Each structure stands twice: as C-alpha cells, then as structure tokens.
Structure 1
Amino acid sequence: MHLKQQRKIIFGITIFYTLFILYFLFLAFGRVDKVDQINGYTFMFLPNDFFRVPSLSDLLHPTLMDFVGFGNIAAFIPFGILIPLLYRTSFVRFITLFILSILLLETIQALTLLGSFDMNDVIQNSSGAAIGFGAYKFGFRTKNNWRNIAATGIFGIVLMLGLWGIFGVLDQVFTKEMGPFVAINELKDSTGNPSTGTKQSSLKIGGQDVEPKYNVYSIEGKDKETYTYTLDNKKELYLFLNYGIPDQKDSHGSIRVTVDGHEFLSVSAEAGRHEPDISEIFLPQANELMITLEGNETLWDVGFREMVYKWN
C-alpha cells in the first residue's frame, strides 16, 4: 500500500478513535441527564489512588471500579501509537502535549458539569499514552507492517504488565492498614489511679459469657468515674469499646467518650436491657482521651488500632 494511503487510513482511524473517546468523556453513562443534579464544580487536584489497580485475586471477582482503573490506562494506549505514526515527535514533546490536552479536557468536563477534574485520571490516561509510545518505539522497527503491528501489540502488553506491577508496589508502599491492637490501660493514665483497666475473669451479660482479653472498666461502689489517657497526638486511629450491664445489676448507667474536648460517644442504658455492645470510633487525631462511666455500665477490651503504612 502506498505511504500516502497508509497515512490517510491512520489519520482516519485517529479521528474516529478520538471522537469515540470524547463520547465516553462527555456523553456516555448518562452524563447529560445528571447535569441538573450536580450543585457545583468538582476539582480534585491532588492524586490519591491513581496507582490502585486490582490484584490477581481481585480479577477473579472483578468490580466496576477494577474495569474503570484499567480502562483509564488502556483506552489511551492507541494515542501513543497513532500520533507518532502520523507525526515524527520525541517522547518528551508527545507526552507534554498529551498531558496538556488531557488537562484541558478534564477542565472542560468540570466546567460543563459533565464530569469532574480528577488528577488521578490525568495520570492514568497519560500512563496509557506513554505505554503506547513505548510500544510503538519498540514495535515499529521493520518494513513489514503486520510484523510491526504484532510486535507493537506484544510490547504494549509487556509494558502494561510492567506498569501494573509498578503500580502494585506503589499501592503497597502508600496504602495504610490497621496496626496492632493497643489496650488503653497500657497507656499513661493521667489520673494516676492504678486500679483503672483491671482485668477480671469473666462477665455475664444478656445470658452470654463474656471473656475480657485486655481490661475491664467499672465503678464498683461509686456513682461516677472519669478515666483520662494521653494519646500523644496520634493520627488516624480507631477506638474500640465493648460495653454492657452485667445481668446481676440494675439496668441504669451511661458512658461518655470525649477526645480533645469533642464528644464522640454518649450511651445511656435502656431500662431492662442487658446486651453486650461494641462501638468503633474513627479519630482523625487524638491527644487526650476521656471516658466517663456512671451507674452499672461496664467497659471491657477498650483499646485502639492506629492506621500505619505496611513498611512501618
């Protein structure tokens, strides 16, 4: 086939594929119908999950978000192949112009309320284009077009798998998970009371035998007690509290949990109710923890788990 004819075909494919992508960016998924339901512009300038790709186990039961993540990368690979076929260009020039184009499209999406400006999409789309450019450079090295196309496809798959692996490593590095359980009585008690958080063998609540593992808080012989602990400005932690009224006691009392002066939990006993319960409280940051008990409410296995990076 004549070189001029090849160029026309490639140009036509590029125009068609560009219109296809623009349709998905601005019109697909009922975007136009949802415009009236959007109250304002959405701009997300800080990337937070662009490298979160599904693992091999996730692919056995894929979700819609798994396909979206791969689609944001794979859908833009052809641009990295088609554009260099049409115009001689360096990678730096190509990827710079591509990123500027994606930034413009994302801005138009946000301003027309047909989507949002999402830096995660910019990075994923640009990664796809970079893969395509790399596959083109490695693949188109002979005069045989079919061999070039086959080689480009193979290199595209290899580079995609390589990027998948890199993103997977980054995901492990920058993803936080719950750390080990820390019993609250292991912390410094600012009240100086050595009897707080003592452990006892068992409780019977709602006919169930409860076996505390870490600590038990109650106020035998008192009307009210406040326990105060210092958490040293820890960030992103989950506080766990098990509570209930033992069967042999009257159903009256309350629990109040405050952190740095803000109340996060307030529970009052219901008349005649003897059932064990648990609360899980997320604390963005915590310095002073105060737990106030009244009546016969009893706490056990009180502690927290801090969100930490896997490499910590």
Structure 2
Amino acid sequence: MSKQRKLLFTVTIIYTLFIIYFMFFAFGRGDSVADSYTFIFVPDNFLKLPNPLELLHPTLMDIVSLGNTAAFIPFGILIPLLYPMKFVRFIILFMLSILLLETVQALTLLGSFDIGDVLKNSSGAVIGFVAYSIGIRAKTVQGSVFSIGISIFLLLIMNWGIGVGIDKAIAKNPGSFVALNEWENSSGVTSKNTTLVPFKIKGQKITPQFNVYDTNGKKSETYTYKFNDKDFYFYLHYGIPDQNDLKGNISVSVDGRQIFLSHFEKDDPLRTPQVFDWYFEQADELTITIEGNEKAWDVGYREMKHFWE
C-alpha cells in the first residue's frame, strides 16, 4: 500500500470514528438514555436543509439538520478515492451501513432509527460522489479541488431546492372542518347536541352554527372525545351568556395534561366571546371541563392529512 493510500485510509478511519461518536455520544446522548426503542419510518421532512435566513440565527436543530447532510459529503469523496466503484454500488453499500448504524442507535437507546436521517446522510454522500466525479476530470490538483468545492456548493443548493419541493408536495395539510357533535359526558353517556339557540354575550348576539355545550344544569360537566392519535387543529368558541350569575370557567386537557384554562367573573373586562385554537400532534383523548354558566360552541377540528389520505 502506497503512502498516499495509507494516508487516505487513516483519514477515512479517523473521520468515520468521528461521525460514529457524534451519532452515539454527542449532544448528551450518553448521559440520557431513552426509555424505549424509537423507530421513525415516516420522515418529518425529506431532504430539506434549514432556510438560509434561519442560518443567520441558527438553532441546535438547524445545525443538526445541516450536519446530517454536510457531514457525510466526505464519504462520497474518500470512499471512491480508496476503492473506485460505480455509483450504484457505492450508494447501496453506504445506505446499508447507515441503516445498520441507525438500527444500533435505536437498540442501544442512544438515539432513534430515523429514516429522515438516512435520507439526509445519503444525500450528503451522493453530493460528495458526484462532486468527486466532476472534480477528477480536471487536469491539475488545484483545478480538481476547485471543481469539487464549487460542485459541492451548487449541489447543496440543488439538494435544498429539491427537498423544499418534495416537502411541500408530501406535507400534511389541514382538511375540512369537522364539528364535534357527539361527546361522552362525565356519566359515560354520549351527548349529542342539536338545539342551537342564539344567545348574547355583553350584548353581542351569538348564533352557533354547529353545536353548543354547557353544564346541563349541573355545577360542572366534563366532555371527552377520542381522537386515536390524530394530528389536528382544534377550535373552540367560549364565553358566558348575559344573565344574573356571570361566573364560570372552561378548561381543555389532552391525554390527562391541561393545556388551557379560562376563568370569567361578572366584571371581567375580557368577558367577551373568545376563541381557543391549538395544534395537537398524535393526541388520543381530549377533555373539556365546563363550570358555572360558561358555554362552548362551534367545537371542532381540522385533521392534518397527506394529499393521498
């Protein structure tokens, strides 16, 4: 083995160990072990890099997202330098290696198996391989290095553009509004509200379009609805109608965790019709608790779906 080849081999080994360290132990992974195996087979985004404007004030996740692509570019250069091979063989071997490392990450609880990381890592290797293939055509070493550098820059931009386009095409979008007209109350009885009587709040006439929920003459009432781990935007109008006893409150909880609480009294300057909306990711059970003379109306959601669903 020539000195140049030995040097390349040593650099490749050292760089590989560096990458493995970051995959398994960086960012505090060695200090906090996950409670369960995590396998993510549907990526949050495809090949998307952080927006250039976001990189002016990058967050840790922006750096990680960029690094998941850029850090693997050298493999697309070092591997073919050591072992000349065609692109198809290179990318198959590379992806198999990354899939193995991602699986070990999940099984050792030092990370997760994320198909999004596999795609980003592989795109970086592809950029390196293509840039190397272009660079070796130069007649001088300086020209080769310059060609590889320019190619990497242009391919990264192209990769970012393709990723943005694919993400927009496969991203989840909110569907049509679905009114929640059937809830299970605290007695375990399914309550279906069909009487939509107008009322006033601070003199403003409210005409519900879909549903109305209140305490049904009790001190308080709790309504639950099962979403079965859906992703959705939730909407709820609420307020206390004009009457003698202007007291009440309303709270919203998801999977046992309270995420909203509002309390009104007679002289509260904010006692006007209000709207609560929230994005829920993989929510199972949603609970609304109404006390006093509070009312909730036009309660519903818009489920996030892919275009093929």
With structure 1 as the length reference, what TM-score do the two structures score?
0.69
Unaligned stretches of 5+ residues in structure 1: 225-234, 258-263
Q: Work out which of the residue numbers 129, 132, 135 in structure 2 matches 1:133.
A: 129
Distance 1:273 1:176, change over 3 A: farther
8 A Cα contact 2:172 2:305, kept in partner: yes
Distance 1:253 1:154, change over 3 A: closer
1:154 deviates by 0.7
8 A Cα contact 2:212 2:298, kept in partner: no
Instruction: Write 1 or 2 for the structure with the bigger share of helix.
Output: 1
Q: Secondary structure at the match of 2:29?
A: helix
- What letter corresponds to residue 93 of structure 2 in structure 1? L
Q: Secondary structure at the match of 1:243?
A: strand
Q: Work out which of the residue numbers 48, 51, 57 in structure 2 matches 1:55.
A: 51
1:272 deviates by 6.7
8 A Cα contact 1:183 1:214, kept in partner: no
1:66 deviates by 1.2
Distance in 1, Cα, partners of 2:136 & 2:266: 79
Aligned position for 2:119: 123
Distance in 1, Cα, partners of 2:101 & 2:176: 44
Q: Work out which of the residue numbers 289, 294, 297 in structure 1 matches 2:294.
A: 297
Distance 1:216 1:77, change over 3 A: closer
Q: Deviations along 1:94-146, whole A, 9 cap, x unmatched?
A: 11111111122222223333322222222211111111101111111033111
Distance in 1, Cα, partners of 2:110 & 2:289: 50
- What letter corresponds to residue 113 of structure 2 in structure 1? F
Q: Secondary structure at the match of 2:62?
A: helix
| Residue 207 of structure 2 corresponds to residue 176 of structure 1 | no
1:19 deviates by 2.0
Distance in 2, Cα, partners of 1:192 & 1:216: 9
Aligned position for 1:17: 15
Distance in 2, Cα, partners of 1:82 & 1:272: 73
1:64 deviates by 1.3
Aligned position for 1:227: none
Once the two structures are aligned, what percentage of the paired residues are identical?
A: 48
Distance in 2, Cα, partners of 1:70 & 1:256: 40
Distance in 1, Cα, partners of 2:204 & 2:175: 25
- What letter corresponds to residue 158 of structure 2 in structure 1? G
Larger CA deviation: 11-20 vs 81-90? 11-20
Q: Secondary structure at the match of 1:88?
A: coil
Q: Deviations along 1:40-71, whole A, 9 cap, x unmatched?
A: 45241513224243223433432211111110
Q: Work out which of the residue numbers 92, 98, 117 in structure 1 matches 2:94.
A: 98
With structure 2 as the length reference, what TM-score do the two structures score?
0.70
8 A Cα contact 1:251 1:269, kept in partner: no
Number of residue equivalences: 287
Alignment RMSD (CA, Å): 4.7
1:158-197 to 2 correspondences below 5 Å: 158-178=154-174, 196=196
- What letter corresponds to residue 294 of structure 2 in structure 1? E
1:73-92 to 2 correspondences below 5 Å: 73-92=69-88
- What letter corresponds to residue 37 of structure 2 in structure 1? T
Unaligned stretches of 5+ residues in structure 2: 182-190, 219-229, 253-257
Aligned position for 1:261: none
Q: Deviations along 1:152-191, whole A, 9 cap, x unmatched?
A: 1111111111111111111111222445767889xxxx98
Larger CA deviation: 21-30 vs 83-92? 21-30
Distance 1:143 1:7, change over 3 A: farther
Distance 1:210 1:76, change over 3 A: farther
Distance 1:305 1:213, change over 3 A: farther
Distance 1:177 1:59, change over 3 A: farther
Distance in 2, Cα, partners of 1:86 & 1:165: 31
Distance in 1, Cα, partners of 2:50 & 2:159: 12
